[in-house]
Structure 1
Amino acid sequence: MMKKNILKYVLLSMTFFLGACNDFFNVETKNVLDHDGYITEESEMYSGYIGIMTKVQAIGDKVIYLTDTRGELLEPTKNAPSELYSIYNYDTDLTGNSYADPAAYYDVIIACNDYLSKLYDYKTENPAAINLDHYKALVSCTLRVKAWIYLTLGKIYGEAVWFNDPVREMKDLNDFPVKNLDEIVEGCLDLLTKGFDGIDGTNTMSWKEWLDPNTETAESTYRYWDYMTPEFFALYGELCLWHGDYQKTVNVILNTMNAKFASTVNDATQYMHNVKLTGTYSKIWDNTNPQPQETVSAIIYNYQGNQTNSLLKHFGTESPNEYLLAPSQVGMDRYTDPDFNPLGGATSDKRSTYYFAKDKSGNYVIQKYRPSNSTARTYAYQDDVHIYIYRGSELYFMLAEALNNLGRVTEASALINQGVNGSFPNGGVTWDGFTDDWTGASTLGTRRYPDLGIRGAFNLGNREFTRGDARANDEAILDEMMLEFPAEGKIYPTMVRMARRYNDPSIIADRVCPKYADPEAIRAKINAEVGGKAGYFVHWNLK
């Protein structure tokens, strides 16, 4: 089955469009280009990359169904197809399951490989015509997309077929190596550092500057396109976290955050978790565009251009949505359980009111992507919700996890609890790598809304951190992630990372199993090893 699907997608891997800029995202899979010459002039360099982005759009929501359905919160409704129940129940035979089929991920990789090859050929044949700065940026962006897709495959399946060369003919999958998760991480780090044609993954470009240079940024249709490619620092930092290179994670993420914070004292400083973010929290998802303060990278859609995902279909109850997945009572109860979520001076955790609601029939729904009072999406069929690849809050969690594993518990606790400003309200930050720009005493002047940490921004009590017990602290970070990222495809992969770090799948089972009618049966599946692979991965026969 897998072989057939990869070969099918090879035939579609050149779905790149050469029309006007406004048509770049209008996906028509029947418009297939001949791979022998689809880059024949400079404009096709850019339209070719946009073609890759159409394939990224197609897989944007897939990780949510494959991980969160098995995670601590979601459960299928009576409307859900048997395929979702099979994922939910940790079935190991998923043959023919359209949710579990990874072919669409490989479609992106095939497109990246072929694009890099043709881009190189065009540069070689047209050295005087090509814009080398843009060439380097397009190569870097493609490397980052490819690395992010491979990392995503590793998180979900625990393995992936690895290939770097263009696929131009039908080949048996046995011709390619299958790498396990550790090998995938190492391969992705190589992609970003060793790169292609002497170019690593750090180069960037502004799509707005190329496509729409004469329009003010705030008025340009293309001002959000740069979000579509995973940012190097976040992707590299996460890969280092999986690899156990904790200091590298701290360095690359902290350096970027410091630079952002040092550039402005704006109330909505990008990546900073402060009161300004709290006040606009629901708009992180319920808006027509990603929220700049919280956005690192995001996949954007426009239903008017036939760019959609299936989030509202799965979570919504209004027609034409199908209400396939719902929040479990166990998962929602964690927000009000003082043992799991110490409320401190707050009467409730406001985040839950943004995430969950009852519809008119009394069904609990995930409402974060379209609240009942939404002004961003008037109609239920407008399923163009943006999907965050990396959020600003996620930077806090990655930093905290890395710092904890470096023994820097005080800093890790501050990021999750009351923030850097909570320890240094008047500046004078002494923690290695942090600056006064996190505080009210910024180097640029007074910052009205300084960093308050993940919980401090909502006036919640402190989550306990313990010196000398890295695992307990990691689990505290994980528990807070469960409250911050429901139905975003981010929590379960972190469970997997920590279960592997401590060689203990109970880190997953203890949090996941309570939502099941037969928790011990699911625990046994999580603890099992099937075909040499851990039971908590999605099992798909690659051969």
Structure 2
Amino acid sequence: MMGTLSACSDFFNVETGNVLDHKDYIKEESELYSGYIGIMTKVQAIGDKVIYLTDTRGELLEPTSNTPNELYSIYNYDTDLAGNKYANPAPYYDVIIACNDYLSKLYDYKTANPTAINITHYKALISCTLRVKAWIYLTLGKVYGEAIWFDDPIREMKDLNNYPVKNLDEIVESCLDLLTKGFDGVDATNTMSWKEWLDPDTDTGSSAYRYWDYMTPEFFPLYAELCLWHGDYQKTVNVILNAMNAKFASTVNDATQYMHNVKLTGTYSKIWDNTNPQPQETISAIIYSYKNNQTNSLLKHFGIDSPNEYLLAPSQVGLDRYSDPNFDPLGGSTLDKRASIYFANYDGKNVVCKYRPRSSSARTYAYQDDVHIYIYRGSELYFMLAEALNNLGRVQEASALINQGVNGSFPNGGVTWPGFTDDWTGTSSLGSRKYPDMGIRGSFNLGNREFKRDDIKANDEQILNEMMLEFPAEGKIYPAMIRMVRRYNDLNIISDRVCPKYQNPEEIRARISEDVDGKPGYFVHWKLK
């Protein structure tokens, strides 16, 4: 088995367009693992796709003189995207086809080898596959507003007319059902450790499999996000708080995972500018290594030095928000510190530099396009939790998460908010915590956003505005805009934030508002049938 898996490049090959060879794999138990890694290669291939499909239409990015027509079409909210390689959802369906085929082959192998198979591994591999499939379908829903849903192990992409097209609401419900009902009596909650399975005798810090567990979406943030889209706000709160409380209760380490504190602020740039994901902030991430032919196109699109092509740039309107005290309460500062990490001006050109600053020691050369892409990071837990709490009327708690943190209200422990614990504060159950929770803005010594006790919509928009500052060019902001538009039936939530970067803002506002083939204009339009 170790011989089969030793050469990562054999499996982490990001070429897409072909499904797994269903005739030749899972003949023996080692192929249970290599088959799943085959799914991961297809996940790598789509890792950056959502960024181009959403952020290009979002509040920040704009074209450059190098931008190809296909990206211009997405930027301009064009409705005829036939033949557009960026808009084509086929690579997402590649992943779904691979998941369905793999589940079928797992079941066949277990049936044929009931006493030989490791049932713990079998269940974990099913759970991981279910989570990947649900995450891909949710992504399709957020980008396109619809998806063809199928569970059959089909071998190539043809004749999908026999399967239902589900809208975003139906996709969310089906994903929740998939995660809880599962496959062959196995739900999506089982976990696995690649390192423990495949490399148990090597120290964790030296193991080649150390970061593989990040590659599969964790159950709890995926389930929480689905509940948030579904409007099950209490479930969202319960799932996230259970996970965060457990982490915070396990250690008072300076860099406690998921905790937004001063320790995180000090290493903030390393969230992206490192060869491995930043442990304090990481929940799930797609990992690449250019040495093994594992690459994405982030540097190609954002980088300015050859061979990168500088296809997308931050707009001046978007950059100005980081120094506008009306949009970003700066406290005593003149500029939000995050801006200097995300952006730079090189030779008179505004550049998204978060993925490779000029001073980068992690990627010495511009062609080293192995930037990891976060599926979920710790800061997202704060935002999802704040949004859910706000919609439950728990405005004080929501405000604390976005502003100065739980410790800002309970510096000596004694937390009284339901679901929260003293482990968020400087007085934890394990003793004194040097770096307690300081919230999203408190960690950067910024002023507070105003939350209103009697205006849940206005509070949601404050949360959204803060997301715009926290997640630029990560594919996370625009879907949140769509979620809030649908909640309040107010297209201005998108238009007021997106249109100012355009030279034809009223035309874009009209395109966002129009109905195309029964779908709102803010979705990417692709004729599935």
Q: Could you tell me the TM-score, scaled by structure 2's length? A: 0.98
1:225 aligns with 2:201: no
1:33 CA displacement: 6.0
Whole-angstrom CA distance in 1 between matches of 2:480 and 2:47: 18
1:503 aligns with 2:489: yes
RMSD: 1.3
1:321 aligns with 2:304: no
**Aligned with 1:138: secondary structure?**
helix
On the 8 A contact 2:20/2:38 being kept in 1, the answer is: no
**Aligned with 1:334: secondary structure?**
helix
1:269 aligns with 2:256: yes
Pairing of 1:121-520 with structure 2 (within 5 A): 121-168=108-155, 171-359=158-346, 361-520=347-506
CA 1:415–1:285: 2 relative to 1, 3 Å? same
1:190 CA displacement: 0.5
CA 1:24–1:172: 2 relative to 1, 3 Å? closer
On the 8 A contact 1:193/1:201 being kept in 2, the answer is: yes
Whole-angstrom CA distance in 2 between matches of 1:258 and 1:105: 34
On the 8 A contact 2:314/2:350 being kept in 1, the answer is: yes
> What amino acid maps onto 2:177 in structure 1?
D
1:348 CA displacement: 2.2
Whole-angstrom CA distance in 1 between matches of 2:523 and 2:416: 42
1:38 CA displacement: 1.3
Whole-angstrom CA distance in 2 between matches of 1:274 and 1:391: 14
Which of residues 16, 23, 26 is equivalent to 1:39?
26
> What amino acid maps onto 1:378 in structure 2?
T
Whole-angstrom CA distance in 1 between matches of 2:135 and 2:49: 14
Which residue in the other structure is 2:49 paired with? Answer: 62
Which residue in the other structure is 1:110 paired with? Answer: 97
1:73 aligns with 2:60: yes
> What amino acid maps onto 1:204 in structure 2?
T
Whole-angstrom CA distance in 1 between matches of 2:221 and 2:18: 34
> What amino acid maps onto 1:462 in structure 2?
N
> What amino acid maps onto 2:101 in structure 1?
D
Which residue in the other structure is 1:89 paired with? Answer: 76
Whole-angstrom CA distance in 2 between matches of 1:25 and 1:244: 37
Whole-angstrom CA distance in 2 between matches of 1:142 and 1:90: 33
1:430 CA displacement: 0.3
Whole-angstrom CA distance in 2 between matches of 1:342 and 1:269: 27
1:484 CA displacement: 0.2
Which residue in the other structure is 2:6 paired with? Answer: 20
- CA deviations over 1:32-83 (Å, ceiling 9, x no partner): 8641341111100000000000000000000000000000000010101000
**Aligned with 1:335: secondary structure?**
helix
> What amino acid maps onto 1:138 in structure 2?
L
1:20 CA displacement: 3.3
On the 8 A contact 1:499/1:508 being kept in 2, the answer is: yes
Query: How many residues of Structure 1 are paired with residues of Structure 2 in the alignment?
Result: 526
> What amino acid maps onto 1:294 in structure 2?
E
Whole-angstrom CA distance in 2 between matches of 1:19 and 1:462: 50
Deviates more, 1:22-31 or 1:144-153: 22-31
CA 1:59–1:525: 2 relative to 1, 3 Å? same
> What amino acid maps onto 2:410 in structure 1?
F
**Aligned with 1:298: secondary structure?**
strand
> What amino acid maps onto 2:485 in structure 1?
A
Whole-angstrom CA distance in 2 between matches of 1:209 and 1:336: 47
> What amino acid maps onto 2:271 in structure 1?
I
> What amino acid maps onto 1:468 in structure 2?
D
Deviates more, 1:258-267 or 1:217-226: 217-226
1:98 aligns with 2:85: yes
On the 8 A contact 1:21/1:211 being kept in 2, the answer is: no
**Aligned with 1:402: secondary structure?**
helix
- CA deviations over 1:405-448 (Å, ceiling 9, x no partner): 00000000000000000000000000000000000001000000
On the 8 A contact 1:327/1:366 being kept in 2, the answer is: yes
CA 1:330–1:389: 2 relative to 1, 3 Å? same
Which residue in the other structure is 1:14 paired with? Answer: none
1:25 CA displacement: 1.8
Whole-angstrom CA distance in 2 between matches of 1:395 and 1:383: 27
Q: Could you tell me the TM-score, scaled by structure 1's length? A: 0.95
CA 1:356–1:33: 2 relative to 1, 3 Å? closer
CA 1:90–1:33: 2 relative to 1, 3 Å? closer
Deviates more, 1:271-280 or 1:171-180: 171-180
On the 8 A contact 1:136/1:199 being kept in 2, the answer is: yes
Whole-angstrom CA distance in 1 between matches of 2:64 and 2:387: 34
**Aligned with 2:351: secondary structure?**
strand
**Aligned with 1:297: secondary structure?**
strand
1:207 CA displacement: 0.3
CA 1:34–1:526: 2 relative to 1, 3 Å? closer
Whole-angstrom CA distance in 1 between matches of 2:345 and 2:504: 26
On the 8 A contact 1:18/1:24 being kept in 2, the answer is: no
> What amino acid maps onto 2:345 in structure 1?
K
1:221 CA displacement: 1.3
1:218 CA displacement: 1.2
Whole-angstrom CA distance in 2 between matches of 1:66 and 1:198: 36
Whole-angstrom CA distance in 2 between matches of 1:510 and 1:439: 37
CA 1:107–1:471: 2 relative to 1, 3 Å? same
- CA deviations over 1:214-250 (Å, ceiling 9, x no partner): 1111111111100000000000000000000000000
Whole-angstrom CA distance in 2 between matches of 1:463 and 1:382: 39
- CA deviations over 1:511-538 (Å, ceiling 9, x no partner): 0000000100000000111100000000
> What amino acid maps onto 1:124 in structure 2?
T
Whole-angstrom CA distance in 1 between matches of 2:457 and 2:20: 52
Whole-angstrom CA distance in 2 between matches of 1:235 and 1:480: 21
1:24 CA displacement: 2.9
**Aligned with 2:122: secondary structure?**
helix
Percentage of pairs with the same residue: 82
Structure 1: which 5+ runs fail to align?
Answer: 1-16
